Amino acid sequence: MRLEGKIAIITGGGSGIGHEACKLFAREGATVIVADRDLAAAERVVAEITGQGGKAVAHQVDVSKDAEVAAMIAKTVADHGRLDILVNNAGYGIAGTVVSTSEADWNALMAVNVNGVFLGCKHAIPVMEKQGGGAIVNTASAVANVGIFDRAAYVASKGAVAALTRAMAVDHVGAGIRINAVAPGTIATPYFKKILSGPDGAELRAGLEGRQAMERLGQPVEIAQAMLWLASGDASFCTGSVMVVDGGWTARGDRKPMNPRASENKA
């Protein structure tokens, strides 16, 4: 029970990595605020947790909206007296190069993936500071470290999350707040499971698995475990770290590029 008595907010808790993190944190003794734009999804996760004897409540939030994030933090403190852990995990990806991505799509993605982390931290840090400490875990991505084909906005957003994590860790270390990130590789979340069951699924799966040194997709719980470690006292000397959990994807120098036009780029 590494999180006994802790109060934890996990955004994007209704699906995928966030869902597994909510279940794991609750099993470790935390009271989990399952925060998601999709209230029904958050409520399903809460039912799962409470059905297994854990403590959780659902909260509807759009992490890109300042007033909604402020209200979520204020309600957590009003209802539970404190906030020990914030996992800024809500996020999404879109396809596109900088040329094909519209400004509206770029801004919408940045509002969730980057501003969502900024706003969560902006409102949680003063609370944690007042109570003498806390732990924040942000979800970056392995693509913060490598360029991938046709995902310009997403890659830029995750690079910003990694950089912001380091900047905030330095700013708030004196307040006893540890701020880290996880950088997952490609994980078998509902989104990937859906596209891999489509018509080009087999080819896509081979490409996605082949670029990770372990030649398989990660499981959401394998990312949740890293989040748990970073959020718990076990990581007491860890701040400003962007922990890569990617099956060796970014360590691998000989990965096959998933870029249909790469062969045209001859010297």
- Which residues are marked as active site? 154
Show the site string, 53-92: x = touches ligand NAD by CB under 6 A, - = not.
Answer: --------xxxx------------------------xxxx
Q: How far apart are CA 200 and CA 142, in angstroms?
A: 24
134: three-class secondary structure by DSSP: strand
CA–CA distance, 66 with 107 (Å, rounded to integer) = 15
**For residues 124 and 141, what is the distance between their CA atoms, to the nearest angstrom?**
22
**Residue 212 binds ligand NAD (CB under 6 A):** no
Q: Which of 19, 8, 69 is nearest to 43 (CA)?
A: 19
Quote the least distance from Cβ 197 to ligand NAD, whole Å: 15
Separation between Cα atoms, residue 168 and residue 121, nearest integer Å: 9
**Closest distance between ligand NAD and the C-beta of residue 131, in Å?**
25
In angstroms, the CA 11 to CA 4 distance is 20
Residue nearest to ligand NAD (CB): 16
Shortest spacing between CB 246 and ligand NAD, in angstroms: 8
Q: Angle 98-87-52 (CA atoms, 0-180°, nearest 5)?
A: 130
Site mask for ligand NAD (CB under 6 A), range 11-50, x = bound: xx-xxxxx-----------------xxx--x---------
Site for ligand NAD in 124-153 (CB under 6 A): 139, 141
Residues that bind ligand NAD (CB under 6 A): 11-12, 14-18, 36-38, 41, 61-64, 89-93, 112, 139, 141, 184, 186-187, 189-192
